[in-house]
Chain A
């Protein structure tokens, strides 16, 4: 059964009275998480790829300009108060910065007691305490070392794991994790990724893992959506997409991963575009493939219309005319194939 579903979602910013120029942050993206088996789905892209906008859309924090987002078949925008409350409980988020979500004047306990109070999760203070301790332990923290402290007394890794514990308190179906380890030190990164995997394996929670880091995406997730300037460039199983990337952009990304092995060298800068690349945004007027200006394999047709997804394998599709001999597939159909 469909749990969380985005169907051809587009989100445009600007274009109002004050800011005439429109920016298409998310451009016709479809995604599906089913309830049948817990999965980890990665959404990968660089800054400006629209991955955080997509996360905010999936959380119902902003509304799509076109397309719909459904939770268990219900359109988010049309939900009743009661359903919305339920949605907020079932779909939890973990954000990038484990420093920013805390009020420095309150003890960390507050971020854990608030959801219990709001969602009336416990009938007595003793039960509340028990639930908090359980969820801290599931996130790999010792309650006695955590509770009663102020945020600055805890390390970044501890603070991030408290956010995992907070998400767990509500016993959610899905957790959206937006760059959960990008601000955490190397030695703790592995521990936090491990606790995210445990959520899937032991508690059956599905995750949407939003990241710029293809290495960790490869390690934790089954499927991956690679976004470029708001559009899906390549989508499929991580083994296909990261081990044998087909889209020229994915290839560039994978080649640029600084691997922790001095013998697997990056290579020279010869294949990189050199002089002044400006950080130009994407206007809504742009036709054709958004990667065309940077693409080493650019063809005339790339500048005429945006490439559709071509299904190159059972479990992978690529938005690139290089693969046009394969059958076309809609983003939604591909999302359904991957989720099945």
Chain B
């Protein structure tokens, strides 16, 4: 079976613009806790263009990782996907059978996990793990043919083929992360989800790994969702940014617009709080605390911390609207901009 045949599992039956490879609609995910259901992701909608790098940022508890992992259907109990659609080229991943989903992983949508050190099997050589991935997707070729393909991919991520005989503990953190990138691109997926791929790495290695990811993503024409909280990294690596707060997307805009002209009050304060090399000893934090998901605020999630609060912010939940071309904001300040 060829890669093309496997990719064919998910047929193009798209009614949406051919430019959008992934479309997430009204995704709702909760966690079951002894104190009841906790809504971690409440009504998230966004799309991913072909070849695009989208950043998903937010503080801990904002739902960014839950969103990303649910796209791969990798969330187990106590998480429950309550509703919504994840359309990959028009096909709803949430409706696939387990077996269909297993085939779609790596082939259509792949994950570069957080903390590469823990995601590789410690008692299996790197080459064997890569061969395993291919065999699981019905590449029943001879070992030599598999190896040739793996060597190609390793070369792509700047690793030499001798690391196929190495165990994960023999590799540095950056090399392990490259192995994870190699595994993610092995079957040329359309979408790569990278969940804080460099949070455990030093800055120099982080830059190398991110540059490698950017290059290979470009070469195989995949789209990337980069999940993280480091706005600096986002500024360097992505085309558009979705900002999450309290389980919702509050703003989705091109990266330059987010940094130069943020619209949502939370985004504005987040950008202002970032340390830079221009000013010293001036800090602008965001007063208050992130919302408790067990007992979320009414109306807009951000209203208890918002400096521009209006009366109806405490009551009405704002929806994510396109207030200008390509600029999506969920805030009542822009209600008059919505048709």
Cβ–Cβ < 8 Å partners of B285 in chain A: 187-191, 194
Cβ–Cβ < 8 Å partners of B60 in chain A: 156, 185
Stretch of B32-40, B225-233, B308-316 with 4 or more beta carbons under 8 angstroms from chain A: B225-233
Closest to B284 in A: A190
Is B19 interfacial (CB-CB < 8 Å)?
no
Minimum distance in angstroms from B306 CB to a CB of chain A: 13
Is B235 interfacial (CB-CB < 8 Å)?
yes
Is B142 interfacial (CB-CB < 8 Å)?
no
One digit per residue, 1 when the CB lies within 8 angstroms of any chain B CB and 0 when it does not, for chain A 202-241 equals 0000000000101110111000000000000000000000
Q: Bound complex: CA of A188 vs CA of B175, how far in Å?
A: 32
Q: Bound complex: CA of A189 vs CA of B232, how far in Å?
A: 14
B204 touches A253 (CB 8 A): yes
Q: Bound complex: CA of A216 vs CA of B232, how far in Å?
A: 13
Q: Bound complex: CA of A216 vs CA of B274, how far in Å?
A: 10
Stretch of A54-62, A68-76, A259-267, A303-311 with 4 or more beta carbons under 8 angstroms from chain B: A259-267
Is B73 interfacial (CB-CB < 8 Å)?
no
Task: Identify which of B206, B231, B277 gathers the most chain A CB atoms within 10 Å of its CB.
Answer: B277
Is B49 interfacial (CB-CB < 8 Å)?
no
A261 touches B235 (CB 8 A): yes
One digit per residue, 1 when the CB lies within 8 angstroms of any chain A CB and 0 when it does not, for chain B 266-283 equals 000111011111011101
Is A120 interfacial (CB-CB < 8 Å)?
no
Is B212 interfacial (CB-CB < 8 Å)?
yes
Stretch of B5-13, B145-153, B157-165 with 4 or more beta carbons under 8 angstroms from chain A: B157-165
Minimum distance in angstroms from B193 CB to a CB of chain A: 20
Is B289 interfacial (CB-CB < 8 Å)?
yes
Q: Bound complex: CA of A272 vs CA of B158, how far in Å?
A: 12
B160 touches A278 (CB 8 A): no
A190 touches B275 (CB 8 A): yes
Is B102 interfacial (CB-CB < 8 Å)?
no
Q: Bound complex: CA of A293 vs CA of B118, how far in Å?
A: 29
Is B174 interfacial (CB-CB < 8 Å)?
yes
One digit per residue, 1 when the CB lies within 8 angstroms of any chain A CB and 0 when it does not, for chain B 200-240 equals 00111011100110010000000000000111111111000
A186 touches B283 (CB 8 A): no
Minimum distance in angstroms from A292 CB to a CB of chain B: 16
With A46-B202, A193-B283 in contact, is A260–B274 under 8 Å at CB? yes
Is B21 interfacial (CB-CB < 8 Å)?
no
Size of the chain A interface, CB-CB below 8 angstroms: 46
Cβ–Cβ < 8 Å partners of A46 in chain B: 202-204
Minimum distance in angstroms from A225 CB to a CB of chain B: 17
Cβ–Cβ < 8 Å partners of A337 in chain B: none
Partner of A272, one of B208, B234, B273, B277: B208
Is A258 interfacial (CB-CB < 8 Å)?
yes
Minimum distance in angstroms from B230 CB to a CB of chain A: 7
B204 touches A252 (CB 8 A): yes
Is A275 interfacial (CB-CB < 8 Å)?
yes
Cβ–Cβ < 8 Å partners of A242 in chain B: 277
A186 touches B270 (CB 8 A): yes
Is B255 interfacial (CB-CB < 8 Å)?
yes
Q: Bound complex: CA of A253 vs CA of B231, how far in Å?
A: 18
Minimum distance in angstroms from A279 CB to a CB of chain B: 3
Partner of B172, one of A194, A260, A278: A278
Q: Bound complex: CA of A26 vs CA of B203, how far in Å?
A: 21
Is A257 interfacial (CB-CB < 8 Å)?
yes
Cβ–Cβ < 8 Å partners of B271 in chain A: 260
Partner of B211, one of A187, A216, A253, A269: A269
A269 touches B270 (CB 8 A): no
Minimum distance in angstroms from A265 CB to a CB of chain B: 7
Closest to A47 in B: B202
Cβ–Cβ < 8 Å partners of A137 in chain B: none
A186 touches B172 (CB 8 A): no
Is B293 interfacial (CB-CB < 8 Å)?
no
Is B132 interfacial (CB-CB < 8 Å)?
no
Cβ–Cβ < 8 Å partners of B208 in chain A: 269, 272, 274
B236 touches A272 (CB 8 A): no
Other A-B contacts than A186-B229, A189-B285, A278-B171, 17 sampled, CB-CB below 8 A, are A46-B204, A185-B59, A186-B274, A187-B273, A190-B273, A193-B283, A218-B280, A256-B203, A258-B203, A258-B206, A258-B233, A260-B259, A261-B235, A275-B159, A276-B158, A277-B175, A279-B171
> Can you list 5 A-B contacts (CB < 8 A)?
A155-B290, A193-B283, A194-B283, A219-B281, A279-B171
Please list the residues of chain B having a beta carbon within 8 angstroms of any beta carbon in chain A.
Answer: 59-60, 158-160, 163, 170-175, 202-204, 206-208, 211-212, 215, 229-237, 255-256, 259, 269-271, 273-277, 279-281, 283-287, 289-290
A-B CB proximity, top 7 nearest: A191-B285, A279-B172, A258-B232, A187-B286, A190-B285, A46-B202, A185-B59
